[in-house]
Structure 1
Amino acid sequence: MQSLAIMALLKIELPEHTVLLCDGGFITWAGDTYTSSDPVFGTLGSVEGMEEGQGNEIPALDLTMLPPGTAGPAELSKPGYQRSRVRLWLAEYDVDAGQVVGTPDLMFDGQIDQTTLRVGQSRQLDMSVVSNAERLFELDIGNTLSPVFHKSVWPGEMGHDNATGLSVPVAWGVESPVRSTRSGGYSGGGGFGGSFGSIAREVALRVNAY
């Protein structure tokens, strides 16, 4: 008689490292070998219950990793980890054969929102994972009329390379920022500068208007 058990499979695709964890032992599925411990991130301490989002909220998943003492803080929490893909499956496996049976159920497919390293008697890495629907809430504030962003969308297109001397960046998809004006010196009398120059110029304009 075949003996079956349930196992969780966690895959985190970081820019420099792919974390493959399971909740005990090791198992191979889809060409990847999942183990109970990662050399950098350690073991999976806990998985908070997944919550469905309502309205303008989105589903989220909170993970707690227990990294080893040899892993440096810079390896565990980097800004570049944000938006890295995270997937969690529940799989049935044959206890005697040590093989996955059928196709695991994908329980969550999202991206890292933020990581927080907590240091006390032991170290814990809290990882907040949000659904890919999070991208629908982004305002694309960083999308500006600059050569760097232009090439990120159209690689090799150099139409913005010669657009130099633009002192005020123009943002796409967001309200334009308020442009501040800087007044120079006033060329009459003793020469006022800064805000005094603005006041003097305003007075001169009103006098000329009369």
Structure 2
Amino acid sequence: MKKLIFYCSIYLVLIVVGFFAYQQFSNAKELDIEKGKDIIDKINNNTSDPKWNYTHHKDENLEHEHEQQYNEELVDIFRNIESTLSFFIVVLQEEEEELFASMFLPEQYSTDLWEYIDEPFFNNANYKILREINRDGTLVSASYETTVLEGYKKTRESSEVILNLHYRDGKTVELLIDLVLVGTEHRRNDDIFYIKTSIIEMIEQIHLQTK
């Protein structure tokens, strides 16, 4: 009897420890829609393409310093997983086609376009793909999970996250997203996150999970 109580106690302790370990290492966080909107405003209010375009031809030193500081701020934003995903969700909600395409590795996205539809540039493929992801404009919110400690791997070369998309009809889709840091080739230390995951795979998972 004592042995049974002992083993039951050990089993209970393991369950409790496992639960708290899961909470520590797998932490779902709601994405901040307002933060995503603020980032889009910053981009739309800039005369250049601030996500990766760095102009170094200003004649006035003050203008150059202001632009450099501004672009560095955006690089910091897109080197952060949570900020990048918040931006991505708002891009989906507001159906910003160009910004949507810019979130993916160009070579992968180009391959996916041609796999998705013949003559993608004449068949409005960007918009159709975007509408597949937001399910005809019904995306209302999103959260994400990582299997790492809070704050860890925020600026590593790659990071897998689980992106949970919540739709108006109550359905939730869980996507495994592979984010990679890639340099913009304009200056040093300007790596920002891009989505490496195939858009075709994402669409297939959405269809599968919303049948």
TM-score range, shorter chain: under 0.3
TM-score, normalised to structure 2, is: 0.23
Give the structure, 1 or 2, with the largest relative contact order (CA under 8 Å, sep 6 or more): 2
- Normalised by the size of structure 1, how large is the TM-score? 0.23
